[in-house]
Amino acid sequence: MDAAEKVRWFEGGFGLLYDRLLSRQVRQDLLPTHVAIVMDGNRRFALSSGLQNDQGHRMGKEKVREVMRWCRDTGIKYLTVYALSIENLTSRSPQELATLFDLYESGFLELCDDREIHRDRVRCKAMGQIHLLPARLITAIEAAERATKDYDDLVFTVCLAYGARQELVDAIKGILSDHRDGKIDPDSICEELVSQYLYTHDMPDPDLVIRTSGEERVSNFLLWQMAYAELCFIDVYWPAFRKRDFLRAIRTYQGRRRRYGR
Ligand code: FPP
Ligand code: MG
């Protein structure tokens, strides 16, 4: 048996057993209600594996489906993923953006009639400056949102053309507009009211924010909402993110909550 075969054998046997034990362990403790993820490292994964960039993104898309499954298995109620920042719309090449838009479009269309999504009652939506996206992608997003609008066992949100500062700008505009219409008294403006004007007005703040690829930045993601979140930076590229990395992040969250909760 060569080294690669040994690793595969270990992964298939002890690896699965280890994941199952870890899964049982985290389910016995307080789970985060909302997990948010900065999926980073698709291109570095491709480079380190001798693949083209678009292959890295394709594998990144498959990983999202896997993580949705892990959330359902574990009992997480909200999963939010950062798939495209507003800055990415100008910083990435038109060819790369076209590949990404194709992946998002096919991803949302697949969700519309996916058996697992309907069986597990997963609500799918997108959040960000959606009007800046190509029409075909907006149509796919709307179709997935319509097909899953009555579900709430897991709420899956894809942040696209998203920027947290822009979200705050939009909230300020909304508050000012309602003030002009006589609906808001300035003295009533408080944290709860601001939260109601964010894109995330109908979901709880994230309890755990994970970023893959070893980078330790929040990159304009959910800045207001992550005020009290636990942050977990994982030194694995997104396509290589494993169930045990996900479960260990939850276990880290549980350990920190216990220490700080005292
Ligand atoms: C980060 O890696 C990844 C992205 C900007 C794109 C994320 C998109 C997917 C994972 C596909 C998701 C699909 C759906 C339907 C949600 P990077 O390009 O920044 O790689 P690098 O950090 O190594 O340069
Ligand atoms: Mg990156």
Confidence class for position 261, pLDDT limits 50, 70, 90: low
pLDDT value of residue 4: 72
- CA–CA–CA angle 161, 163, 165 (5° rounding): 150
pLDDT value of residue 262: 57
Please check the confidence at residue 135 and state whether its pLDDT lies above 90. yes
**Is 15 or 88 the better-scoring residue by pLDDT?**
88
Buried b / exposed e along 37-56 (16+ C-beta atoms within 10 A): bbbbbbbbbbeeeebebbbb
pLDDT value of residue 167: 98
- The residue assigned the tokens 């893959």 is 212
- The residue assigned the tokens 């109908």 is 202
Q: Which residues have a catalytic role annotated?
A: 40, 88
Our answer on whether the CB atom of 125 is closer than 6 Å to any ligand 1 atom is no
What percentage of the chain exceeds 90 in pLDDT? 92
The mean pLDDT of the chain is 96
Type of residue found at 216 = E
Return all residues near 213 (Cβ < 8 A) that are at least 6 apart. 40, 41, 44, 234, 235, 236, 237, 238
Name the closest-CA residue to atom 8, ligand 1.
83
**Cα separation of 105 and 141, whole Å?**
7
The model's pLDDT over 181-236, given as tens digits with 9 standing for 90+, comes to 999 999 999 999 999 999 999 999 999 999 999 999 999 999 999 999 999 999 99
**Cα separation of 47 and 73, whole Å?**
32
Q: What CATH homologous superfamily does 31-249 map to?
A: Decaprenyl diphosphate synthase-like (3.40.1180.10)
What percentage of the chain exceeds 70 in pLDDT? 98
The model's pLDDT over 62-80, given as tens digits with 9 standing for 90+, comes to 999 999 999 999 999 999 9
Nearest ligand 1 atom to alpha carbon 58: 11
Our answer on whether the CB atom of 61 is closer than 6 Å to any ligand 1 atom is yes
Domain ranges across the chain: 31-249
Name the closest-CA residue to atom 24, ligand 1.
43
Nearest ligand 1 atom to alpha carbon 213: 22
The model's pLDDT over 6-62, given as tens digits with 9 standing for 90+, comes to 767 776 778 889 999 999 999 999 999 999 999 999 999 999 999 999 999 999 999
